[in-house]
């Protein structure tokens, strides 16, 4: 992926996913701190903050999931456009840096070119018996992996709901023990 992203024509948002993941990790660390401290100190305030943060994260997960499935066609078109740009650059200058980039695409997708006619000039992997259209393969890969992302998202949302339920149960148990004393 570094070879694909290091090209000067790579889109600005190529690393945006990494930045989002780092930010989400920092937020989750803070939320986890609220939960641990709230449970250890039996603090209703910290457990309530933990619940509120989990609720916001749950809403963000649902929103991101909806946008991912709505924007699937746009993602496929952007990925195909990136390949077409690299393909056109390669056809203009077959010996340049693009040669390595287009070869990485071909190896990763097990395809070669946009059409079956022009594949003789492209750097194709040796182990492909029947060359496939890369634009179709990009669509197939995104379609196949977006379902996996959806399943993982549902599992994470279920875990978030599990955490919200237990934080409220613990918060209510703390309130009930304090009322008895």
pLDDT in tens, 17-30: 667 778 888 888 88
Q: Give me the half-sphere count of Cα atoms (radius 13 Å) on the Cβ side of residue 162.
A: 6
Cα separation of 58 and 74, whole Å? 25
- Look at residue 150 and tell me if it is in a domain: yes
- Look at residue 4 and tell me if it is in a domain: no
pLDDT tens digit sequence for 63-73 = 887 887 788 88
- Look at residue 109 and tell me if it is in a domain: yes
CB atoms inside a 10 Å sphere around CB 101: 24
* Confidence at residue 178, expressed as pLDDT on a 0 to 100 scale: 80
Question: Rounded to whole angstroms, what are the CA distances from 28 to 56, 72, 170, 172?
Answer: 11, 27, 20, 23
- Look at residue 3 and tell me if it is in a domain: no
pLDDT at 33 over 70: yes
pTM of the model: 0.66
pLDDT at 162 over 60: yes
Cα separation of 55 and 33, whole Å? 16
pLDDT tens digit sequence for 76-120 = 888 888 888 888 888 887 766 666 777 788 888 888 877 755 555
* Confidence at residue 117, expressed as pLDDT on a 0 to 100 scale: 54
Instruction: Give the residue numbers spanning the domain of 75.
Output: 10-180
Cα separation of 147 and 177, whole Å? 45
- Look at residue 1 and tell me if it is in a domain: no
User: What is the domain count for the chain?
Assistant: 1
């Amino acid at each position: 992926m570094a070879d694909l992203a290091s090209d000067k024509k790579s889109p600005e948002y190529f690393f945006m996913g990494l930045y989002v993941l780092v930010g989400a990790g920092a937020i989750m660390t803070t939320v986890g701190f609220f939960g641990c401290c709230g449970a250890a100190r039996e603090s209703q305030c910290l457990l309530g903050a933990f619940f509120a943060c989990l609720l916001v994260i749950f809403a963000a997960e649902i929103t991101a999931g909806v946008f991912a499935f709505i924007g699937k066609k746009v993602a496929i078109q952007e990925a195909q456009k990136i390949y077409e740009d690299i393909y056109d650059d390669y056809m203009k200058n077959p010996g340049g840096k693009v040669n390595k980039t287009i070869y990485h695409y071909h190896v990763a997708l097990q395809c070669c070119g946009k059409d079956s006619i022009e594949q003789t000039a492209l750097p194709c992997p040796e182990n492909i018996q029947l060359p496939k259209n890369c634009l179709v393969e990009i669509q197939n890969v995104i379609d196949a992996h977006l379902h996996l992302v959806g399943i993982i998202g549902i599992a994470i949302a279920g875990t978030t709901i599990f955490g919200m339920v237990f934080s409220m149960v613990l918060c209510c148990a703390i309130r009930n023990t304090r009322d008895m004393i």
